[in-house]
Amino acid sequence: MNIVRAIARGLAWIPFLLLARALPAADAIDLHRLWDGRCAECHGHSAEFARAMLTVNEGRLEGRHHRDDLATFLHNHYLAGSNVDEVYAMLLAQALTPPRFAEQCRACHGSAAEFARDSLVFRDGVLHGRTSGEPVREFLAGHRGLEDADAAFFAELLERVAREVGMR
């Protein structure tokens, strides 16, 4: 009888373990929420800001007023000690990424960050739909008639955004 109870107790933990795998790590930072909390009031949505106000020169971000060292400016301007390198990398990626998600997907899915938080999960390093369980890359191959290159673009974008919101 003790062995039956031990097995039952062990099985009782399975739902909690599965849920823990679906949630971001405790130390994961949601860079989009960090931006929204510290920067959006003055600068708006991070991707729109990055595309409108920043340029990429030889792989480095430059601001209109802070050309030489944007990372130091970010550190001194509301991000002191708060993931400056990660926010810089997010802004760089956004400056280099055309606004296709906003133009083609936002009407149904909201922002990419909202969609990632609500609808996606990493399983063994692969991004999946939270409800369908299907890998995102496979799902997108048949979604709304996307061409292969378009499906790859959106899969890469969603993988990046999922990491930016703290998913692993």
Sequential pLDDT tens for the chain (168 residues):
555 454 444 444 444 334 434 444 446 899 999 999 999 999 999 999 999 999 999 999 998 877 678 888 888 888 877 799 999 999 999 999 999 999 999 999 999 999 999 999 999 999 999 999 999 999 999 999 999 999 999 999 999 999 999 999
According to the model, what pLDDT value does residue 23 have?
Answer: 43
d(CA 72, CA 45): 21
According to the model, what pLDDT value does residue 69 have?
Answer: 83
**Global model pTM greater than 0.75:** yes
According to the model, what pLDDT value does residue 141 have?
Answer: 94
According to the model, what pLDDT value does residue 8 have?
Answer: 46
According to the model, what pLDDT value does residue 70 have?
Answer: 87
According to the model, what pLDDT value does residue 80 have?
Answer: 75
